[in-house]
Structure 1
Amino acid sequence: MPQQSAGLIMYRIEKGEPEFFLIHPGGPFWAKKNEGAWSIPKGIADADEEPLATAIREFREETSIIPNGPYQSLGYAKMKSGKTVYAWAFEGKWNPESGIKSNYIDIEWPPRSGKLISIPEADRAEWMSFDKASIMINPGQLPLLKRAYDLLK
């Protein structure tokens, strides 16, 4: 069965236009990747966890920001991998000067080396216009971003 994950798209209105909060994945694989590499904070549900609860927990873990609703459902998008990503939008505040503090995960690096390294799930975050976010976001998540944008028009 394909995996399911859930995430949040935080937005703000700046000079009358929406901006979207995206994160860049941490670790050596993603270090030099930019366009199409950014993501909404998201992750896989714990056992018996509701998708919205997963989205809120993952947002907090990956950014150290405590999200506050109300949350507007954006439905889901299917990724190339077959994974289904559910998402919700909410208006929030974040000062880029404060940065983010992400949780760390262990990965095998280099691949098939048997060596584990600890990396942050996200190494940076940014507010982006819809046009910029459309270029930077993982293409599989673009339908979710478009739905969030359409809610705000």
Structure 2
Amino acid sequence: MTDVFSAGVLVYRRADAGVEVLLGHMGGPLWANKDASAWSIPKGEYEPEETARDAARREFTEEIGLPVPDGAWIDLGQVSYRSGSKRKFLTVWAVEGDLDPAEIVPGTFEMEWPPRSGRRTEFPEIDRVGWFDPTTAAEKLGKGQRPFLPRLTDQLR
């Protein structure tokens, strides 16, 4: 089993109805027609020579196309979960901010598509973003990332 280390930033805002979090819908053809468990905290992998916090900042900017909002970083800790033959360790911080989804300029990745065609096609890492209350966000996030939502609400109490 391979261990993979990732880090991310969960941006939140305070709305009239309560706290909302910013999630990105995973881009590419494999996720195009999915909604439940197809959204993610902006995050990505990093190597041992980079700190988790530096990687979280870098990955947020790469995926969203905007810098992490100014503000205090709230440490939401780390979770581990399995994904195929990998064991993933994800560290996340929360930062308060109010980003406009219309301003998002996602990074891209390349993959062979259609499969076994020999053609490489570029897709956005995140094809759209949205603000969600924690209950809705829990339905949209992959299972391994859900523990960060109650951690955030506990920290904000």
SS of aligned partner of 2:40: coil
**1:3/1:115 Cα in 2 relative to 1: closer, same or farther (>3 Å)?**
same
For 1:110, the aligned partner's letter is: P
SS of aligned partner of 2:36: coil
Q: How does 1:18-33 map to 2 (within 5 A)?
A: 18-33=19-34
SS of aligned partner of 2:110: strand
SS of aligned partner of 1:114: coil
**1:75/1:114 Cα in 2 relative to 1: closer, same or farther (>3 Å)?**
same
Measure the CA separation in 2 of the matches of 1:78 and 1:111: 30
CA-based RMSD of the aligned residues comes to 1.5
Query: Does the 8 Å CA contact 2:5/2:47 hold for their aligned counterparts?
Result: no
SS of aligned partner of 1:2: strand
* Structure 2 gaps, min length 5: none
Q: Normalising by structure 1, what TM-score?
A: 0.92
- The count of residues paired between Structure 1 and Structure 2 equals 152
Measure the CA separation in 2 of the matches of 1:61 and 1:101: 9
Deviations, residues 94-113 of structure 1 (Å, cap 9, x unaligned): 123x2411111111223344
Which of 110, 128, 139 in structure 2 is aligned with 1:124? Answer: 128
How far did 1:116 drift? 1.3
Q: Normalising by structure 2, what TM-score?
A: 0.90
Query: Does the 8 Å CA contact 1:42/1:55 hold for their aligned counterparts?
Result: yes
How far did 1:3 drift? 0.6
1:91 aligns with 2:99: no
Identity of aligned residues (%): 39
Q: How does 1:1-153 map to 2 (within 5 A)?
A: 1-15=2-16, 17-46=18-47, 48-67=49-68, 68-81=70-83, 82-96=87-101, 98-153=102-157
Please identify, of 60-69 and 3-12, the stretch whose mean Cα deviation from structure 2 is larger. 60-69
Measure the CA separation in 2 of the matches of 1:80 and 1:109: 26
**1:111/1:149 Cα in 2 relative to 1: closer, same or farther (>3 Å)?**
farther
How far did 1:115 drift? 2.4
How far did 1:8 drift? 0.5
Measure the CA separation in 2 of the matches of 1:39 and 1:58: 12
How far did 1:79 drift? 2.2
